[in-house]
Amino acid sequence: MSALENKVAVVTGAASGIGKATSELFAAEGATVIAVDLHAEQADAAAAAVGGVAVAGSVSDASTWEAVVAQATALGGLDVAHLNAGVYGYVDAIEDLPLDLYERTVGTNIGGVVLGVRALVPLLRARGGGAIVATASVAGIVAFAPNPLYTLTKQAVTGFVCALAPNLVKDRITFNAVCPGVVDTPMTVGALQGLDPAAMGFTLISPATIAANVLDLATSEGTGRCRAVLPGREIDWEFPDWSQLGG
């Protein structure tokens, strides 16, 4: 039997990049995918490509999550969620940071995870357990100076995962983060602005590689893991907990 046979899964940012690859892999493993994306046309196309159902809307909006819960309920429940939607942040002078860009970045990258967990944990609990994987970044582990705003949001995600995961163990819900390096996605292409990643010392990782790690994190034992996915290797990064600090 496939890993997700007869399961119901949610994937945000499902229309492109990592979300698209995860949706395709989850569907190939037997899941019915609820494909969430910002615009209806993209969400519909993402859902149609994997035989799933679509939800259009911003992951920073609680009403989008109400629609996701309604779709999952209509399908009988929820087993897995990949909270993946994200935006790149801001790379110019901090004093020039547009407020709307700040709010959109924080709302998508942090709010899309927090609101997603808030909405979906009751569904997973009702199912007797399940798995949530959030997309963070290696910037969620090691600060990325060219983009402090992105770093802020991704370190918030890894911190949230590590802090919340132990609280979900009693519900048999695992909560992990995948922390990719530089992935060959439309967001990366836009961030590079035409520059050659190889000339900059970057080896691009395929979205399919990240999707495979998402599937593994969702279906293997362990929680509170922050997995750095780098070219040719993966590292399950362990953050210290309070007991290790002493005093």
Query: For the residues 198-211, what does the mean pLDDT come to?
Result: 80
CATH of the domain at 41: 3.40.50.720
Higher pLDDT, 201 or 128: 128
Total domains present in the chain: 1
Half-sphere exposure of 73 (CA within 13 A, CB side): 11
Query: For the residues 211-216, what does the mean pLDDT come to?
Result: 98
What pLDDT digit, counting tens, does each position of 22-54 carry? Answer: 999 999 999 999 999 999 999 999 999 999 999
Residues 25 and 211 sit within 8 Å (Cβ to Cβ)? yes
Confirm whether 150 is a catalytic residue: yes
What pLDDT digit, counting tens, does each position of 63-110 carry? Answer: 999 999 999 999 999 999 999 999 998 999 999 999 999 999 999 999
Report the SS3 class of residue 90.
coil
Which of the residues 88, 90, 102, 150 is marked catalytic? 150
The CA distance from 208 to 213, in Å, is 9
Residue 87 within any structural domain of the chain: yes
Residues 74 and 66 sit within 8 Å (Cβ to Cβ)? no
Q: Which domain holds residue 227?
A: 8-236
Residue 245 within any structural domain of the chain: no
CA distances from 212 to 3, 22, 179, 198 (A): 12, 8, 13, 24
What pLDDT digit, counting tens, does each position of 143-156 carry? Answer: 999 899 999 999 99
Residues 9 and 28 sit within 8 Å (Cβ to Cβ)? no
